[in-house]
Structure 1
Amino acid sequence: MHDHKDSERLASFADVLAGELPGTWSSTHHPSGHTEDLAALDERIWDLDLVADSLAEHPLRQAAVLSRPDGAQLVVLDRYDERGGFLIAAIAPRELPDEAYRGVPEPNGIAVADDPFLGAEQVAADLLHRYEAALAQVRHNALDALVPSQPDRLVLTWQPDGSLAAVPVGDTAVKVLVDNGFVRQEQTGIYRLSGDDTVEQARAVREAGRQLHAHGIATALQHPSGRIAPMAAAPTAAAPAPAASAARTSAARSR
């Protein structure tokens, strides 16, 4: 069993660390019982070096997640060696497409001693700078992967997970998308419609197309091939979603 004292030690360290980092951060502890949260977190740790090596030998048993209001996140983990202390790594945003990470170096994590005040200085001086640079690049790449919309033309782009994404221009297009289930991603400003329920997705696309057409805004659909096809205001069905892509290699680790 996991040592209760170790759990309290990590949670306490992360709480103090969050209060010492520049900006506003909150800390959420995930003990060993949070198996689903830990599994999802393990896939998003943005590291292919020190932290990845540690996780390959010591599967994730607990963690603390530090979150900033703009969506930035860090993870604090136990360090299982004679030096003790903790490992701190960046967390890759879950909502950005796989293509956005291509060519972006991982902002690999760091090891810190069991001193949250010194640890905060190390994170602020090193990891945060590399993390924010990588975040800026993947956000930029995510926007570049979408065909830009115009005030009179909205382009919907298929994503590898079957969702649809758009960068609308103007309050009218934004309102129509939100009213029909598109969710704005704080990291990029992209509006995304889930493809988990393809019947509901098709209905939402039909209705959004009808409403946009009433406002004089045409709608087009970008297929995975890059070809852009005009979309009728009220199509009978949404185009079939592309197959989901392989897991993002820049954030995943080979065990």
Structure 2
Amino acid sequence: METMHDHDHLASFADILAGELPGAWSTTHLSAEDRAELAALTDRVWDLDLFAETVSLYTVDHGACLTRTDDGVRLIVVDHYAEQEGFIVATIAPEEVPAEAFRGVREPDSVHVPDDPFLAARAVTTRLLPRYERALAQVRSNAAQLSRSQPDRVVLTWKPDGSLTTTAATSRVADLLAAHGFAHDEKSGTYRLSGEDTAAQAKSIREVGAQLARLGVGVVLQHPASSRTTPSPATVPAAAQRPSAGTPATRLR
């Protein structure tokens, strides 16, 4: 389906709109040659309403990204394909917060604005940006609470069959463990990593340790007979050594 506006028209509209919004904004124009970048942006649009419907029905082949220079807040402008007039301005979800922080937060969604950047700026300023600011504040508050409740370490315990077991204090840790081969036992609530393939097991431990380290969470290996645990440094080893019976906890190097 052909759109009402070509790339140049949308780009000019976005430039004027950016100049009319409160604060300082920069504009990035996205054409059909920027499909990968455009797809990455549309994937992060914070909208389950108008914009979500648009991308599910039409191919968005050009647009513009507006970025507020003082804090990195982003908006995206695309054609309103269904109406064949005006534009859709939508919000982009922040990338620096965990997905769990978005739970329970209502999306700021998007607005349909006329093909007049001055009237469009009024709609964005009075309707979209206030919703966006409220949602951002709630998400950042949730992220701060998650950070405070984040465990400072995850303990991996060797079992006689060579497997490793652990528990997850948060859903974020649980998702990370599951993504790296740890099977969840719903009855006990534990996560188990098989030791049948020692190379695959070591690889999973390295990857889990590296990702947890980026969250500020340490990894500890312990033998079930040992009451002592040794936290790993931030860098996870090339391989994990399985302790023999009666030896102290193995330290990840």
TM exceeds 0.5?
yes
Name the amino acid aligned to 1:121. Answer: R
Question: Normalising by structure 1, what TM-score?
Answer: 0.61
8 Å Cα contact 1:220-1:231 kept in structure 2:
no
More divergent stretch after superposition (39-48 vs 78-87): 78-87
8 Å Cα contact 2:54-2:82 kept in structure 1:
no
Aligned residue for 1:33, secondary structure, equals helix
The answer to whether structure 1 residue 87 and structure 2 residue 88 are counterparts is: yes
Aligned residue for 1:26, secondary structure, equals strand
1:58 counterpart residue number:
58
How far apart are residue 231 of structure 1 and its match? Answer: 2.4
- 1:125-164 mapped onto 2 (5 Å cutoff): 125-147=126-148, 155=152
- 1:204-215 mapped onto 2 (5 Å cutoff): none
Relative to 1, partners in 2 of residues 1:238 and 1:15: Cα closer, same or farther, differing over 3 Å? farther
Relative to 1, partners in 2 of residues 1:80 and 1:231: Cα closer, same or farther, differing over 3 Å? same
Aligned residue for 2:147, secondary structure, equals coil
Measured in 1, the distance between the counterparts of 2:91 and 2:131 equals: 9
| Identity across matched positions, percent | 45
8 Å Cα contact 2:26-2:68 kept in structure 1:
yes
Relative to 1, partners in 2 of residues 1:222 and 1:116: Cα closer, same or farther, differing over 3 Å? farther
8 Å Cα contact 2:47-2:110 kept in structure 1:
yes
How far apart are residue 239 of structure 1 and its match? Answer: 11
How far apart are residue 59 of structure 1 and its match? Answer: 2.1
1:38 counterpart residue number:
38
2:72 counterpart residue number:
71
1:184 counterpart residue number:
none
Number of residue pairs aligned between Structure 1 and Structure 2: 185
Who wins on radius of gyration, i.e. which is larger? 2
Measured in 1, the distance between the counterparts of 2:234 and 2:81 equals: 58
- 1:23-34 mapped onto 2 (5 Å cutoff): 23-34=23-34
Name the amino acid aligned to 2:92. Answer: I
Relative to 1, partners in 2 of residues 1:22 and 1:230: Cα closer, same or farther, differing over 3 Å? farther
How far apart are residue 148 of structure 1 and its match? Answer: 6.5
Aligned residue for 2:115, secondary structure, equals coil
Measured in 1, the distance between the counterparts of 2:134 and 2:66 equals: 18
Name the amino acid aligned to 1:86. Answer: F
Relative to 1, partners in 2 of residues 1:50 and 1:71: Cα closer, same or farther, differing over 3 Å? same
1:221 counterpart residue number:
218
Relative to 1, partners in 2 of residues 1:146 and 1:238: Cα closer, same or farther, differing over 3 Å? farther
The answer to whether structure 1 residue 113 and structure 2 residue 110 are counterparts is: no
Measured in 2, the distance between the counterparts of 1:234 and 1:97 equals: 20
Structure 2: runs of 5+ lacking an equivalent = 155-169, 177-205, 221-228, 241-253
Measured in 1, the distance between the counterparts of 2:48 and 2:239 equals: 37
Measured in 2, the distance between the counterparts of 1:134 and 1:46 equals: 10
How far apart are residue 221 of structure 1 and its match? Answer: 2.8
2:101 counterpart residue number:
100
Relative to 1, partners in 2 of residues 1:108 and 1:235: Cα closer, same or farther, differing over 3 Å? closer
Measured in 1, the distance between the counterparts of 2:65 and 2:96 equals: 17
Higher relative contact order (CA 8 A, sep 6+): 1
Relative to 1, partners in 2 of residues 1:143 and 1:39: Cα closer, same or farther, differing over 3 Å? same
Per-residue deviation, residues 176-233 of structure 1 (Å, max 9, x unmatched):
xxxxxxxxxxxxxxxxxxxxxx57x75x95xx9xxxxxxxxxx86389xxxxx87255
8 Å Cα contact 2:108-2:128 kept in structure 1:
yes
Question: Normalising by structure 2, what TM-score?
Answer: 0.61
Measured in 2, the distance between the counterparts of 1:238 and 1:100 equals: 32
Name the amino acid aligned to 1:9. Answer: H
Structure 1: runs of 5+ lacking an equivalent = 163-197, 209-218, 224-228, 241-255
